[in-house]
Chain A
Amino acid sequence: AQSVAQPEDQVNVAEGNPLTVKCTYSVSGNPYLFWYVQYPNRGLQFLLKYITGDNLVKGSYGFEAEFNKSQTSFHLKKPSALVSDSALYFCAVSSSDTGRRALTFGSGTRLQVQP
């Protein structure tokens, strides 16, 4: 079975500082990894994905993530946080072995950016 762990329920960072939201995963087969963001009373918005290729993936709104196969991690990063980045962030995984559309989500990390 595939699984995703987001070890931090909440991350607090000051505006202008770099941010990291952690994600580790477990799958059989090749992982397909995604980050989504959710604002209050809204659906999920896609940020970025890793399927294959370059381990550093760049996405929307200045976010990036690094795929680390040996550590089975896919941490989300941004060099300079904005107050408007405050939201709930989800890491998700599917794999080449299991149902490709069956995304397994982490529990979510609430990012709070203070002015």
Chain B
Amino acid sequence: KAGVTQTPRYLIKTRGQQVTLSCSPISGHRSVSWYQQTPGQGLQFLFEYFSETQRNKGNFPGRFSGRQFSNSRSEMNVSTLELGDSALYLCASSADNWGLAEAFFGQGTRLTVV
């Protein structure tokens, strides 16, 4: 079956703009998590959604937001982009509700802010 799909794969935005990234989880997976990967900070947890509800949130400013739709697809939005937001944004989906199943990651969206 199809894996986690993230679109677009690459984005170039200007400081101050906003951006929306999309994630389609594996069919049947209801948990979707987002991570930011940068050379300096490594992989950092942004937030996690389950059945359209945000269950966990990492230590990121309010400019970072997300949502999940009834079909489990998820979007994340970053407003008022800063140069430091340049990163690979990874989405992961999981089958279970209890954190016991592994997360499957998409290939990521590479965001460059200029």
Q: Which residues of A contact B55 (CB under 8 A)?
A: 99, 101
Task: Report how far A63 CA is from B46 CA in the complex, Å.
Answer: 29
With contacts A32-B100, A43-B4, A108-B42 taken as known, whether A102 is within 8 angstroms of B58 at the C-beta atoms is yes
With contacts A51-B100, A101-B55, A101-B99 taken as known, whether A45 is within 8 angstroms of B105 at the C-beta atoms is yes
B56 touches A46 (CB 8 A): no
Chain B proximity mask over A86-103: 1 for CB below 8 Å, otherwise 0 = 000010101000011111
Q: Which residues of A contact B31 (CB under 8 A)?
A: 101
Overall SS of chain B's interface: strand
CB distance from A32 to the nearest CB of B (A): 6
Task: Report how far A104 CA is from B92 CA in the complex, Å.
Answer: 14
In the complex, whether A74 has a CB less than 8 A from a CB of chain B is no
State which of A43, A101, A102, A103 has its C-beta within 8 Å of the C-beta of B106.
A43
Task: Report how far A99 CA is from B50 CA in the complex, Å.
Answer: 12
A102 touches B102 (CB 8 A): no
Q: Which residues of B contact A102 (CB under 8 A)?
A: 33, 45, 48, 56, 58
A44 touches B105 (CB 8 A): yes
Task: Report how far A102 CA is from B59 CA in the complex, Å.
Answer: 11
Task: Report how far A103 CA is from B34 CA in the complex, Å.
Answer: 10
With contacts A90-B43, A108-B42 taken as known, whether A46 is within 8 angstroms of B99 at the C-beta atoms is no
B102 touches A105 (CB 8 A): no
CB distance from A71 to the nearest CB of B (A): 23
CB distance from A106 to the nearest CB of B (A): 8
Task: Report how far A36 CA is from B33 CA in the complex, Å.
Answer: 15
In the complex, whether A49 has a CB less than 8 A from a CB of chain B is yes
Residues of B within 8 A of A (CB): 4, 6, 31, 33, 35, 42-45, 48, 50, 55-56, 58, 90, 92, 94, 98-100, 102-108
